[in-house]
Chain A
């Protein structure tokens, strides 16, 4: 049984910080699956450029892997937002059908035009394998297809559901107040900065007996986020009229930072393990949050109707650490 499953089992008895930890870890899994989907899209796009030799098996396998990963992401989302589970699985079924149609349509010989030209003059776009890959890429993220029919549209919609809910409820004022009480009552307020600090693994099993300082946490991303904060006085994130506005849930290489402010949505997730293939920074914030002024260069930023998404993938731990120092300064100073 995985640690996540063990924690989930315990959580049925005692909701609270433990539940918060489980949701935070699940959200990271959700992001990992979303990232894997983007990697699959990029792999398909790279192969479509014409440099690679591939066959129908590759394209069918790509479709299968996208459907599998999409299913994992939908599962995560359904755990995070059970009330949307039914809707998400109905949408997922539509994509499974679309995938199946792509495979069957091409297998029936309708997926492309056979080239009768000489081998040295083949037109790639006319080859059935390329035609199928091109159809698959349109299904992934085609600009010319009807709205809300691509996998990317579905991924964004799923994000919307998950982000709206959010593991700490910071995005809905009533939940926000409720969670503020949860943190107040759990003795997780940092002794040296105005921020709630939760150890994702230890606190999920046992709440701290005394308040802890930032220095008590062995977390690489947290250390960098707060490295330049507060100057000489080292006051860090400050209290405002609404109380403590920030929560950081951490492990050695993971940081999940959220705001409890009822009128502001901001969430930062990062993994800085030193293994570039899995490290990332992801941020969701209100449209009004002015991410441009907070983020260093190199982020992919996308504006949606419900807020701004920003991410930086395949980056070194050093780049992530530098980025966190800049973000920390901008957010807290």
Chain B
């Protein structure tokens, strides 16, 4: 992986997800920002794009599919990773068909997400 830190955005309306992912992902030196509301995350992304966006698929105001579409419209190079629950695997497949890089089902270990992020970073910085 390049020495340049990755900019990673985490979006999940369940507070605990961002709270736990931030320190776990920052351990490798990457820059992590967490959001509980999709609108705020999109506004922040419009100001300053991120390399990787990790977003929950099922959220109240804006769902993960809409976030995926808007992120890719703003920045085609960004890799979007979808977090799903048990009942949303079908929607996750839909997300893949719409350009998501990969998906991970809750509950998951931070190391499992880290492995996906590493694969994404290799595509970002071949």
**B50-98 at interface with A (beta carbon < 8 Å):** 58, 85-86
Which A residues touch B20, using CB under 8 A? Answer: 53, 122
Distance to closest chain A CB from B35 (angstroms)? 13
**A37-93 at interface with B (beta carbon < 8 Å):** 47, 51-58, 61
- Chain B: CB-nearest residue to A43: B107
Instruction: Evaluate whether A58 and B106 lie within 8 angstroms (CB atoms) in the complex, with A53-B17, A127-B16, A129-B16 already known.
Output: yes
Distance to closest chain A CB from B52 (angstroms)? 16
B16 near A61 with CB under 8 A, answer: no
Q: How far apart are the CA atoms of A287 and B20 in the complex, in Å?
A: 48
B85 near A53 with CB under 8 A, answer: no
Instruction: Evaluate whether A47 and B107 lie within 8 angstroms (CB atoms) in the complex, with A55-B14, A58-B85, A61-B86 already known.
Output: yes
Instruction: Evaluate whether A53 and B86 lie within 8 angstroms (CB atoms) in the complex, with A119-B23, A120-B22 already known.
Output: no
**B1-32 at interface with A (beta carbon < 8 Å):** 12, 14, 16-23, 26
A57 near B22 with CB under 8 A, answer: no
User: What's the A-B contact tally at a CB cutoff of 8 Å?
Assistant: 49
Which A residues touch B14, using CB under 8 A? Answer: 55-57, 129
Which A residues touch B21, using CB under 8 A? Answer: 53
B110 near A53 with CB under 8 A, answer: yes
Q: How far apart are the CA atoms of A58 and B58 in the complex, in Å?
A: 13
Q: Which of B23, B34, B86, B109 contacts A52 (CB 8 A)?
A: B109
Distance to closest chain A CB from B115 (angstroms)? 14
Distance to closest chain A CB from B20 (angstroms)? 5
Q: Which of B12, B14, B17, B85 gathers the greatest number of chain A CB atoms within 10 Å?
A: B14
- Chain A: CB-nearest residue to B32: A119
Q: How far apart are the CA atoms of A285 and B58 in the complex, in Å?
A: 50
**B103-118 at interface with A (beta carbon < 8 Å):** 106-110
Which B residues touch A128, using CB under 8 A? Answer: 16
Which B residues touch A52, using CB under 8 A? Answer: 107-109
A119 near B106 with CB under 8 A, answer: no
Which A residues touch B22, using CB under 8 A? Answer: 119-120
Q: How far apart are the CA atoms of A322 and B31 in the complex, in Å?
A: 55
- Chain B: CB-nearest residue to A122: B19
Instruction: Evaluate whether A53 and B23 lie within 8 angstroms (CB atoms) in the complex, with A127-B16, A129-B16 already known.
Output: no
B85 near A57 with CB under 8 A, answer: yes
Which B residues touch A57, using CB under 8 A? Answer: 14, 58, 85, 106
- What are 19 inter-chain pairs, A to B, with CB distance below 8 A? A52-B107, A52-B108, A52-B109, A54-B106, A55-B16, A57-B14, A57-B106, A58-B85, A58-B106, A115-B19, A119-B18, A119-B19, A119-B22, A120-B23, A120-B26, A127-B16, A127-B19, A128-B16, A129-B16
Q: Which chain A residues have a beta carbon within 8 Å of chain B's beta carbons?
A: 47, 51-58, 61, 115, 119-120, 122, 127-129
Closest 5 pairs (CB-CB, A-B): A54-B107, A55-B14, A52-B107, A120-B23, A119-B19
Extra inter-chain contacts (6) besides given A55-B14, A122-B23, A129-B14, CB under 8 Å:
A52-B109, A55-B12, A57-B85, A58-B106, A61-B85, A119-B19
